[in-house]
Amino acid sequence: MRYNFIGKDFDFGDATKEKVAAKFDRIKKLFPEDSTATIVFSKGKLDYRTEVTIPLGKRVLRAESSEKDFMASIDKTVDILERQIVNYKKRLRTITRKLPKFADEYANLPVDEALIDDEKDSEIVKVKTFELRPMSPEEAVMQLELIDHSFFVFLNDKSECVNVVYKRKDGEYGLLTPEA
């Protein structure tokens, strides 16, 4: 696995990079050898933030954490990534039994089968249908506030594409739009 380190308002030297790489080496055996992890560090007023993005063919694995201690933030992010990749392999194993087209994707992940538990996979337990009404993103935010959900799906009246507005952790709103 290759590492791409990026610091935002944060400087770190080669020794720090080596320590961080050693922490991530703990999970590199769970990923294909040609994987590249982009690791972004930033320092806030009270904490350190670590964000990691690892492309896996058609999928993207992403984890982030904020802690008061720099190394604790890294450890937490590594733990999150380890859990995610194991759960992903578990889900692929289940879906490959039903849909053989996922067999190659499953075979290309070097996660040890012993790490995958036999607990029941999460599954879709409810399907909800709704009307997609054309509206502006601002109207969608108003509707989101009225229904008190964390996201709202709507048809953008200008682009005529399906969009999603969502409430962010910082209390602001985000807009998801499909690529053209």
Residue 13: pLDDT over 90:
no
CB–CB of 53/105 below 8 Å?
A: no
Nearest by Cα to 106 from 60, 63, 62, 57: 57
Helix (H) / strand (E) element for 165: namely strand 162-167
Q: What is the mean pLDDT of the chain?
A: 87
Element of type H or E holding 7: strand 2-8
**115 falls in which pLDDT band (50, 70, 90)?**
low
Quick: pLDDT tens for 83-96: 998 888 888 877 77
- Mean pLDDT along residues 114-139: 80
Q: Which residue has the tokens 């599954």?
A: 123
Which of the two residues, 162 and 107, has the higher pLDDT score? 162
Query: Pairing relation of β-strands 173-176 and 162-167?
Result: antiparallel
The pLDDT score that the predictor gives to residue 57 is: 80
- Centroid of chain to Cα 178: 17
Contacts of 92 (CB under 8 A, 6+ apart): 102, 105, 106, 109
Lowest mean per-residue pLDDT among 4-8, 94-98, 151-155: 94-98
User: Is 133 within 8 Å of 126 (Cβ atoms)?
Assistant: no
Domains of the chain with CATH codes: 2-115 (3.30.160.100), 134-176 (3.30.505.50)
Cα 146 to the center of its chain, rounded Å: 28
Confidence (pLDDT) at 10: 76
Q: What is the mean pLDDT of residues 124-137?
A: 91
Confidence (pLDDT) at 9: 79
- C-beta contacts of 149-156 below 8 A and 24+ residues apart: none
pLDDT tens-digit map of 19-76: 999 999 989 888 888 899 999 999 888 999 999 999 988 889 999 999 999 999 999 9
The answer to whether 175 touches 154, Cβ cutoff 8 Å, is: no
Share of the chain above pLDDT 70, in %: 90
Task: Kindly indicate the confidence band of residue 81, based on its pLDDT and cuts at 50, 70 and 90.
Answer: very high
Per cent of the chain over pLDDT 90 is 52
